[in-house]
Amino acid sequence: MGMDFSTLRTLISRYCVGEENWVDSRTIYIGHKEPPPGTEAFIQQRYPDNRIVSSKYTFWNFIPKNMFEQFRRVANFYFLIIFLVQLIIDTPTSPVTSGLPLFFVITVTAIKQGYEDWLRHKADNAVNQCPVHVVQHGKVVRKQSRKLRVGDVVMVKEDETFPCDLILLSSSRNDGTCFVTTASLDGESSHKTYYAVQDTKAYSTEKEVDSIHATIECEQPQPDLYKFVGRINIYMGSEPIARPLGSENLLLRGATLKNTEYIYAVAIYTGMETKMALNYQSKSQKRSAVEKSMNAYLVVYLCILIGKAFVNTVLKYVWQADPNRDEPWYNHRTETERQRHIVIRAFTDFLAFMVLFNYIIPVSMYVTVEMQKFLGSYFIMWDDEMFDEELGERAVVNTSDLNEELGQVEYVFTDKTGTLTENNMEFIECCVDGHVYVPHAICNGQVMPDAAGMDMIDTSPGPDARAHEELFFRALCLCHTVQVKEEETVDGIKHGIHQGKSTSFYISSSPDEVALVEGMKRLGFTYLRLKDSHMEILNREDEIERFELLEVLTFDSVRRRMSVIVQSNTGERYLFCKGADSSIFPRVVSGKVDQVRARVEHNAVEGLRTLCVAYRRLTPEQYQEVCNLLSGAKLALQDRDKRLAEAYDLIEKDLILLGATAVEDRLQENAADTIESLHKAGMKVWVLTGDKMETAAATCYASKLFRRNTQILELTTKRTEEQNLHDVLFDLSRTVLRQHGGMTRDTFSSLSGDCTDYGLIIDGATLSAVMRPAQEDSNSGNYKEIFLEICRNCSAVLCCRMAPLQKAQIVKLIKASKEHPITLAVGDGANDVSMILEAHVGIGIMGKEGRQAVRNSDYAVPKFKHLKKMLLVHGHYYYIRISELVQYFFYKNVCFIFPQFLYQFFCGFSQQPLYDTAYLTLYNISFTSLPILLYSLIEQHINMDVLKKDPSLYRDIAKNALLQWPIFIYWTVLGVYDAIVMFFGAYFLFDNTTFTSNGQLMTTNTQMMFGNWTFGTLVFTILVFTVTFKLALDTHYWTWINHFVIWGSLIFFVVFSLLWGGIIWPFLNYQRMYYVFMQMLSSGPAWLSIILLITASLLPDVVKKVIWRALWPTTTERIQNAEKLYKGHLSEFTPLAALHASSRSTRQRRGSIDQRNVPNPRRSEPCKKKIMFTRWQRRPDYCTFAPLLRFADDSRHSKQEHAYSGVCPETSV
């Protein structure tokens, strides 16, 4: 009997708690067949095709859209206006001087962005044109993926990826199930089981599937991966049969079919309506903090420019108020000019002054910045330390616009599976009644180092213990949901695990279960298969034991355990239960609890994932009671989950403890060291994962995100069920603020031992509740601020069970907080794309989960460990270089244009240029551009080994430290000072008759020779030499290229000036510069004045630097001094921490030593080179040579102050 649709709608409303009100549903006709007459109206709805689009532009909209984006930049728009003004009115300079650089910038940027988008189009086409198999008229035909339509019946074979969102109709397996990996969706590479519709699972051929006559009614597309509600109406007789559909029937685009030969399924969501596509974040233009600072400085200089032009315009008309000055004999006005209104004349003059002073806004800076970013990005790609031999991959730069942002990161959001971990579980040990068993601990008759002090299997404990031991091994071989995948050998004969060489492997929805079953195999008990509801295991005596599987009590995150009920050949029934220690120990009535608990705690400290195993024998009466409980709960139509949970709770009690296991989720190489370095660098690391809480928490301990003394705060569904969200949030807030006294976590060192470390764990469902906007009639208020306050006071945060879009929401929440921190997201799967696009910087890991994250990221690296060098070295260098570039450009343009402003006071405000047109055009393009471009590419103010060894140096450049307003003002004032010295120094020396006459009496001829162009050339010569020497003084890393470019650019200027003034150029309509440069240099006092004025310009900056370095040196300056002392060879044992501010060093020496034990290295970690360090109260001081310590601190301190004052275990640095 058909189910009433209104009832379905009510059910949907109830199950979609917290969602918006039910929107209209969609009806899908399977195979595009009309329903039988009289059942319902056939209304064919229009749906999008199956194309995926990740590109920004099309062929038609590229030019207008790209131009709009580029002219949104303040600088580009400004130069466009100036260019138009030069075209419209008569100005002192040519329109080419503004138009050409602008055209170059726009063209280069457009080509770069167009190329990047073409790559995205190429990737989209590869996906959209891949072949899919569709059932049509009883046959399987091949189609391109983009031509797939809603309602098509699709055939998918093993190891193929689902082309769109599908409802499973039938499978090659008799029970109608299929196994799927969703690694690219939620990061879990484990196998999940999905179920076919009950009434269609028997249809196993193309013709049978094509004969299905049914419609599907379901909700409209929505991004939640874990929710789906609908129903299928199957027309077999007079009445349609209605069956419910849920998320267990829905196969998502991007997931892969595993361990199932083929399936048939119907397309219900296609293209950009698939759940994966709805979780994509739209691509937006990312802008770096440095670019925002540049735009802010640009506005300031624009105001200065307008101010200069306004002052000059006003003063011009004040000057011309005298009739004699209004129209001098050599510059009579035309009749048109006389008749023009004074307001129009004043406005024209204002624009002319704007164009004259317009060079203070450096258009060439934007060209240089674009070139610096583009060329600089190759240093990441060429870095051999970021090359992975296993993958054969190098780091990739997808966008070079954000290089300097790598040096400003404050929050790192990372995925777990495949990013932090290799997603490779390994069985380490098990403990039975206090006896520890390590697989393969005895090798070639010798006890391996790991086995020292442990009880081996071969020790053969007493008969009772032996029975318990075997029961424990059987429990682990039976209590799981593992399937066995068998592969055929070359001769076509199938071999089981127990026959000769293993050609079979285990697959499961949980990688832990696979590790445990494989661990048991290494200990002598092998799980063979599940056949006809019987589980077969091979014991140590090579005998096959069969157990009938009666019930499976599945795992859930609230119970944190799972159980099976099995019956042995002898008829005995057992309940085997395994789960987290916190959920097993309270249910245990006997067993060696203390010994097992001690071992569990020991393993947890080492970051291993622990599970406890217990059992209970069931009498026939007890088993009958269990059956009644379970059947009653399973048949309930309402609150089925709640009733099942209550039944499980009653069944899993009075257990006998057998033992515990320890499994290691192999971290990626150096992942823990990388996270520790990021913490020391002042970054906060958050782990955002779709994985279970227990799995993720264990990884966080192993990767040193959570430490031994970290107090874990839980904000999870389990806790919010016991207490309402409002109370939980306020409890957590009080906890962290009581400890920290209202101060944020930033005020404490991440290594400090004198305050409690807090770690927060939150799940996706609770996060949805926190993010939900406050209702007007509710007094709950907005929880976001409280949540953010808690997070600020936690050293680490773990977010588990996150949907891809929730990851992006978290990143967006932190980005929008009042501090506006710079965020970085790193991930390896398609489920990480949203947060990669949302963060300021997105980094893709070249993992096992496809290349979608890499394609959508700004940068891609082979492994997580490469993040350390990318941020601490490359990011640091990029930021230092570009901040100097920006400040230097503004400085040299102030030096360039301010004399032009002063000159107007001496030429009647006539808009007369001080410099020749060639000098105006080439100053930024040729004479001063190459040295700063090269500086911004190869400068290394500190050796890269030092930057890697001391991550805290990263803090010195945090929060855009080198582009703050005080530093900007200092550079501007320095530029104004240099300009005044150049102009008035040249003016007063120029005014001296001794100078102009070369020691002889001044004649009319010489007076004519030394006119305004000679004066301008003298000022320009001093200017070029001063700004170039200023850059040379700022350079720390000298190579032959620096010498060639810096001195070469000065030689080029001199040679150009000699040629420009030494030849009469036929294509010029003026020869005003002829012989001017040679005439100027023929005067000895001119040489002296050039040297004196250059020295006077540079002296204050040099003196300031010397005094500051002597009295208030920064950490960076101390290390630079140390490098000079040791001639650039800071050894591995150099005391970087001792080079930090002396006040901090003094506090460290006074502080007591933290003598907490450091956990032993984990078993799977390879041996590393180790050095000792003394753990001070605040930060480590590396064991070093005494002379450098005396150099770094005051020489009055005695050697004894630097001796060891305590013993610490070795640890790698």
Residue 1120 CA to residue 956 CA, distance in Å, equals 14
Specify burial of residue 753 (Cβ count, 10 A radius: 0-12, 13-18, 19+). middle
Q: Which helix (H) or strand (E) holds 496?
A: none
Residue 911 CA to residue 312 CA, distance in Å, equals 9
Question: How far are the Cα atoms of 494, 1118, 1134, 1145 from residue 1187, in angstroms, in the given order?
Answer: 71, 14, 10, 16
Which residues have C-beta within 8 Å of that of residue 637, sequence separation ≥ 6? Answer: none
The CA dihedral of 903, 906, 911, 917, to the nearest 10 degrees, is -50
Residue 273 CA to residue 277 CA, distance in Å, equals 6
Handedness of CA 786, 788, 794, 800 (dihedral sign): positive
Instruction: Look up residue 1174 and give its two tokens.
Output: 């003394």
Specify the 3-state DSSP secondary structure of 630.
Answer: helix
Which residues have C-beta within 8 Å of that of residue 6, sequence separation ≥ 6? Answer: none
Say how many CA atoms lie within 13 Å of 1166 toward its Cβ.
6
Question: Hunting for tokens 């140096």 — which residue is that?
Answer: 953
Residue 1169 CA to residue 1141 CA, distance in Å, equals 29
Q: Which of 117, 415, 673, 950 is catalytic?
A: 415
- 297 and 886 Cβ atoms separated by less than 8 Å: yes
Quick check: is 415 catalytic? yes
Specify the 3-state DSSP secondary structure of 182.
Answer: strand
- 871 and 856 Cβ atoms separated by less than 8 Å: no
Instruction: Look up residue 525 and give its two tokens.
Output: 């008990």
Specify the 3-state DSSP secondary structure of 486.
Answer: strand
Q: How many CB atoms lie under 10 A from the CB of residue 278?
A: 18
Q: What is the CA radius of gyration of the chain?
A: 38
Residue 486 bridge partners (DSSP)? 504
Residue 1159 CA to residue 1168 CA, distance in Å, equals 15
Q: 655-667 and 588-590 as β-strands: parallel, antiparallel, unpaired?
A: parallel
- 540 and 454 Cβ atoms separated by less than 8 Å: no
Residue 601 CA to residue 621 CA, distance in Å, equals 37
Which residues have C-beta within 8 Å of that of residue 868, sequence separation ≥ 6? Answer: 670, 673, 674, 677, 678, 948
The residue among 218, 276, 273, 232 whose CA lies nearest residue 252 is: 276
Handedness of CA 576, 580, 581, 587 (dihedral sign): negative
Question: How far are the Cα atoms of 51, 52, 1043 from residue 832, in angstroms, in the given order?
Answer: 21, 17, 46
Catalytic sites, residue numbers: 415
